[in-house]
């Protein structure tokens, strides 16, 4: 399943969640402010920065602050 690393206050996260919902793409949300291990992961794939939304796909690949089109295109390749 697609995992979205997020925060409660992130506008970009809220927008992407709405777009994924509209497209019928299932995802799990992990709040990096409530889960220190997830924040560490997000930093590890973003040059030490806690950038959200960061998405992790089933194959372990990631996208940072993607558009829904980028998500759909990436999902078609994994």
**pLDDT, tens digit, 9 for 90 and up, residues 52-71:** 999 999 999 999 999 999 99
**pLDDT, tens digit, 9 for 90 and up, residues 1-50:** 899 999 999 999 999 999 999 999 999 999 999 999 999 999 999 999 99
What is residue 78's predicted lDDT score, i.e. its pLDDT?
A: 82
What is residue 1's predicted lDDT score, i.e. its pLDDT?
A: 86
* Number of Cβ atoms within 10 Å of the Cβ of 45: 17
Spell out the alpha helix ranges (H) of the chain.
11-23, 36-45, 68-77
What is residue 25's predicted lDDT score, i.e. its pLDDT?
A: 97
pTM for this entry? 0.94
Structural domains for the chain: 2-77 (3.40.30.10)
Is there a contact between 20 and 37 (Cβ–Cβ < 8 Å)? no
Matching residue, tokens 């390749």? 77
61 contacts: CB under 8 Å, gap ≥ 6: 74, 78
């Amino acid at each position: 399943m697609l995992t979205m690393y997020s925060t409660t206050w992130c506008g970009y996260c809220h927008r992407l969640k709405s777009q994924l919902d509209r497209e019928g793409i299932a995802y799990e949300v992990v709040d990096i402010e409530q889960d220190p291990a997830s924040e560490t992961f997000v930093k590890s794939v973003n040059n030490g920065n806690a950038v959200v939304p960061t998405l992790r796909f089933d194959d372990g690949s990631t996208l940072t602050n993607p558009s829904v089109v980028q998500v759909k295109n990436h999902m078609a390749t994994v």
